[in-house]
Amino acid sequence: MLDEDGYFGEAVAARYDESSGEMFAPEVVDPAVDFLAELTGEGGRALELGIGTGRIALPLARRGVEVHGIDLSRAMVERLRDKPGGAAIGVTIGDFATTRVDGGFSVAYLVFNTIMNLTSQDAQVDCFRNAANHLEPGGCFVVEVTVPDLRRLPPGQNAVPFRVEDGRLGFDLYDVATQSMSSHHVRVVDGHATYLSVPFRYVWPEELDLMARIAGLRLRERWDGWSREPFTSESRQHVSVWEKADG
């Protein structure tokens, strides 16, 4: 799991919402909240792994869903607490791959590529097991994550840019031998540059399905996005739902 002070400490938390502003837009948030609220059902509870500053948890709670979160970063959670309704959401500080909380849940979910914050296959498997252990029979584990962008890598190249604009540059570095990658962010404000590098482990949809089977879950549905667009060979991301067997 990522070191809070190294990657999601105070410096990152202070500008996280601004730097990820497009992810807070209603057209991005609302379909995710609709999807999760429908899946949770009336009277159900939802567990967010990597709750962060509450981008999804807060609007989901406003729909009447009881939400609990797990997050390693106290600095990110403090930002959540400062927002309207944030103090009412229960949060447990810890590694979401292994940290347990009380009670059962209808839905556990990971959004915005957060599964890749776990930088080993073992940790990702542990996360599936942890999610399954929190779910009630018939409950669902939902993951939103990118499809590895390796088709954009020509021979001899290991970098893929994802942001090129005035004052901001971003690119991913891939190591296809280990499935490790890192995202590099350069930001220039008033002539002063800051640099941040964050490690990840990319993971394929079929690999996630195997992790789910190990944890006692089965694939229920997979979509290109929260609005249930079909998942195809051209999809660059997916929203997958695995279900825990009844009984």
pLDDT in tens, 221-236: 999 999 999 999 999 9
The average pLDDT across 130-143 equals: 98
What is the layout of strands, in order, in the sheet containing 45-49? 90-93, 66-71, 45-49, 105-110, 135-146, 237-244, 217-223
Q: CATH code at 182?
A: 2.20.25
Domain that holds residue 71: 4-148+203-244
The reply to whether 189 and 85 lie within a common domain is no
Helix (H, G, I), strand (E, B), or coil: what is residue 16?
A: helix
**Which residues, at least 6 apart from 143, have a Cβ–Cβ distance to it below 8 Å?**
109, 110, 115, 208, 239, 240
Q: Which of 147, 152, 145 is nearest to 171 (CA)?
A: 152
Q: Which of 176, 120, 114 is nearest to 144 (CA)?
A: 114
pLDDT score of 178 more than 70: yes
The reply to whether 70 and 110 lie within a common domain is yes
Confidence tier at 15 by pLDDT (50, 70, 90):
confident
The reply to whether 135 and 164 lie within a common domain is no
The average pLDDT across 184-209 equals: 93
The reply to whether 166 and 138 lie within a common domain is no
Q: Report CA-CA distances (Å) from 140 to 80, 85, 109, 184, 241.
A: 25, 25, 8, 33, 6
pLDDT score of 30 more than 90: yes
The reply to whether 189 and 116 lie within a common domain is no
The reply to whether 81 and 113 lie within a common domain is yes
The reply to whether 171 and 231 lie within a common domain is no
The reply to whether 219 and 134 lie within a common domain is yes
Confidence tier at 11 by pLDDT (50, 70, 90):
confident
Q: State both tokens at 123.
A: 């940790």
pLDDT score of 143 more than 60: yes
Torsion of CA 82, 226, 179, 175, to 10 degrees: -80
> Using an 8 Å Cβ cutoff, are 160 and 149 in contact?
yes
Average pLDDT, the chain: 93
The reply to whether 112 and 9 lie within a common domain is yes
Whole-number pLDDT of residue 1: 46
Domains in the chain: how many in total? 2
